[in-house]
Structure formats: structure tokens, C-alpha cells
Amino acid sequence: MSPAVRILFLADSHLGFDLPIRPRVARRRRGHDFLANYAAALEPAKNGEVDLVVHGGDVFDRPGAIASLAFQAFQPLVEIAEAGIPVLVVPGNHERSELPHLRLARHPNIHVFDCPRTFVRTVRGVRLAMVGFPYHRRDVRSRFRSLIAETRWQEEEADLRLLCLHHCVEGATVGPGDYVFRGAPDVIRPGEVPPSFAAVLSGHIHRHQVLTRGLDGARLAAPVLYPGSLERTSLAEIGEPKGHLILTLDPSASPVVRWEFRALPARPMVRLEIAGAELLPADLDRAIRGAVAAGPEDAVLSIRVSGPLTAGHWAVMSSGHLRRYVPATMNVEVRPAGGLDRGALAGRRGGDRGVPNEAPAARSPATRGDSRRGGRRPGGRGALDPDQGPVDGRPLGAQAPGVLPRGAPRSPTGIATSPVSIGGPPENS
């Protein structure tokens, strides 16, 4: 009997998130959290605990990653490859299906799905066929069968086959409202995965989950495993554990594939709403200061202020004012509950000297569509980011955790983490 093969599966590291080359404002940047979790996720490979590494895509947060950031991403992979451990990478949508600066990852043991491909490696006596293709931007639903065929997987003899993707699969769930991906041009039908595959390893969905049944309740021929992102990138991910998967593959066992989720530290996210119309500017200032003081010291805090706002309200919500007292360990964003009215804002800037000549919100990477160059994602309020689910336009309250009271127990890092969970296809799944 061949020994079991162990695979480290991580995805959606989003290196470069909130990590500007020349920051205009001195404040805590979340980019270092992503780099730290990336390094932590690779530890099992560096410690010789696994036989193979798969990155499921979105290594980087943006397609134009600079060379120094690419070096930080690829050098650990090169070191793992040097130790004799194969590394496979699926380019994701944030890389626009093509990894930058690949010369820095050039190694015989590093394999990139830069087009539909099949890589075959023998590990512990098990012949593995790793099949996959980069993120496909145009109607992957109708093209899926042909993309699989282009990998020429059927021409390779193998003991086990794994399909590596960076896509939405029907039944995947995201966001505070538990949005379920169903029929859409960018959503794959799991029933079209050939039964010869032992499992589907996919990035793109930021919530860790394993799909074992289709929307019709029928058992899938191959489980679809999402490790989720390594850190929270959006308020839609409030409360979600972040981490990576360790897979155990044994062709002689039943089930053939088992998985273990290992959690990583994640910044706590808090979202609150304050009724600004009922408060004088000084009272609103005290309410915001109270929320900051009550939150975890390393929180990503998003505050929405509802109701009509006067020049005095805008002044206490301005980023310049907030920087006077917000701890350097926090990321804080204060915005109108209904979003910014740019026209009204321009009028205030020009006609009221009591309003600082800057954006009225303390901008933070907490809300992804507002923190990127170029502003909000296309689609407007309530638009769906396939990586995260609905990121705007949802009611506040029950879906978001409250501010932790002073003295509440916390982990040494101030972050609540999930215990390790181990699984395989349940008998009644």
C-alpha cells in the first residue's frame, strides 16, 4: 500500500492589498497582514509536512504587481521547490489570468497553469495528474467542457487526478446574506466535472467551504474544496475564519481525499451605524470616539452615519479629524450610510470653510470597492464581487457583530481564530 500524499492548498493571498508604493498618509497598512499570513500558510511546506503545494489563484491583489512584491511572493515558493516539493499555481482574476514577473519563479519544480495544462508528478509512489487552466474571463460556463478537453488530461495515465481552478462553482456561498452562486456565465456546473477526478481545488471564493452535493441535492462525483482567502479583504467577510487546507490523498482509502482546515489570525472587522440626524456634531464626535475606544485595538472598523449631515457633522467625520485620535493599530472608516454624494461634497468644499478640503471619510481598505484606485466596482450599490459576495447595500445590525466591550477576553493577538477542523465527505453529505 502506498503512503498517503499530503498537499498544502492555499488561495487568494492578495499580496499587495493596501500596500501602496508611496503612501500619502501615515497609518497602519493592512498589506503586512497579508504578507504575514502568506508566510504562515507556507510553513507546513517549509517544515516538510507536505509533499506538494497548490496555490489556487489571486496570488496578488492587482495585475501590475511590482518586482519587489513579486519577489516576496515567489521567493518562498522557490525555496520550497528547492527542497524537492512541487509547487503549482493557478493565475486568478486579480492577475488577469497571467502572473507577473514569472522570471522570479523560474524553477523546474514550479508549474504554472498559464494555459489549459496537465502536470504529472509521482509522489510517494502515487502518480498524480494535476489538471487545470487560468481564470477564464468569458463565459466559463459554456466553455468549461472544452477547456477541460484542452488540458489533454485523458492522455495521461494517473492513479489520482485533481482539477485546479480559480472559479465560482454552483452552490458556493458568500457574504453576510449567504448568497448562493447558481446559473450564470461565470459559474461552473459541478456535474460537468469528469468522474475521473478525485477532487476540485479552487480559489476565487473567499469563504472556506467544501461542496459535496449539487443544488439538486445529488452527491457530486468530486468534492469542490475552497480554502478561502488568507485574510479578510471585505466587510462581507466579517466573522469568517481564514486559513488554508491540508489534503490527504490515499488511492487505497475510502474516502480517497480528506481535508483539514487550519485557521490563521485575521483582523477583527466591526461595522456600526450611528443615527447622525439625532446628534449634534459634538455628540456625533463623542459617539465615534466611543466606538473607536470600545473596539479591538487592531480592528478594521467601519462606521456608517445615517440621516442629513451638516457641515459640522462632516467636520468630525473627516479623515484629518479622525487621525488625531484613532490608534495607529486600527483601520477606521466613517461614511454616510447612503454613500457619498460627490456633487454635494464639491459644493460643500467650495462654499463652506468649516468643512476640511479633503474626503469626508477616513478611507480604509475595510470596504474593498472604496479603497482601490478607480473607486467603486462597476455595478453600483449592491453590486456583487464574486470573490466576496454583496459588499454594499445590506442592512446593518444582526448580520454584523457588535463592538467588543472593554475587558472582553481576546486571543494574544486580539483576534478570535477558529479551531482546526478535519473532514472528508460525511456519510450523509
Tell me the sheet residues that pair with 270. Answer: 301
% of the chain exceeding 90 in pLDDT: 73
pLDDT of 423 reads 54
In this structure, what CATH number is given to the domain that contains residue 195?
3.60.21.10
* Same-domain status, 245 and 322: no
Answer whether residue 401 is part of any domain.
Answer: no
* Same-domain status, 85 and 183: yes
Residue range(s) defining the domain that contains residue 280: 269-390
Pick from 200, 229, 235: nearest CA to 389: 235
pLDDT of 376 reads 32
* Same-domain status, 252 and 374: no
Answer whether residue 208 is part of any domain.
Answer: yes
Answer whether residue 343 is part of any domain.
Answer: yes
pLDDT of 357 reads 28
* Same-domain status, 325 and 187: no
H helices present in 305-422, as ranges:
311-317, 319-322, 342-351, 368-371
Pick from 31, 259, 249, 72: nearest CA to 158: 249
Answer whether residue 187 is part of any domain.
Answer: yes
* Same-domain status, 234 and 285: no
Answer whether residue 51 is part of any domain.
Answer: yes
* Same-domain status, 86 and 158: yes
Answer whether residue 9 is part of any domain.
Answer: yes
For the stretch 198-219, pLDDT in tens is 999 999 999 999 999 999 999 9
- Look up residue 423 and give its amino acid: G
* Same-domain status, 22 and 167: yes
Provide the residue count of the chain: 429
* Same-domain status, 20 and 143: yes
> 304, 337 in Cβ contact below 8 A?
yes
Q: Specify the pairing of strand 117-123 against strand 179-180.
A: unpaired
For the stretch 402-416, pLDDT in tens is 223 323 333 322 223
* Same-domain status, 225 and 273: no
CA gyration radius, the chain? 23
How many domains are there within the chain? 2
pLDDT of 340 reads 63
pLDDT of 26 reads 74
* Same-domain status, 87 and 211: yes
3-state secondary structure of 390: strand
Chain-centroid distance of CA 248 in Å reads: 24
Along the 429 residues of the chain, how does pLDDT read in single tens digits? 568 999 999 999 999 999 998 888 777 889 999 999 999 999 999 999 999 999 999 999 999 899 999 999 999 999 999 999 999 999 999 999 999 999 999 999 999 999 999 999 999 999 999 999 999 999 999 999 999 999 999 999 999 999 999 999 999 999 999 999 998 999 999 999 999 999 999 999 999 999 999 999 999 999 999 999 999 999 999 999 999 999 999 999 999 999 999 999 999 999 999 998 889 999 999 999 999 999 999 999 999 999 999 999 999 999 999 999 999 999 999 999 987 654 555 444 443 333 332 333 333 333 333 333 333 333 333 334 444 443 333 222 222 222 233 233 333 222 233 334 445 544 334
Whole-number Å distance between alpha carbons of 340 and 335: 7
* CB-based contacts of 370, cutoff 8 Å, min separation 6: 333, 335, 363, 376
pLDDT of 25 reads 77
* Same-domain status, 71 and 138: yes
Q: Specify the pairing of strand 126-132 against strand 110-112.
A: unpaired
Q: In this structure, what DSSP letter does residue 401 have?
A: -
* Same-domain status, 291 and 341: yes
Whole-number Å distance between alpha carbons of 243 and 28: 22
Helix or strand holding residue 369 (H, E) = helix 368-371
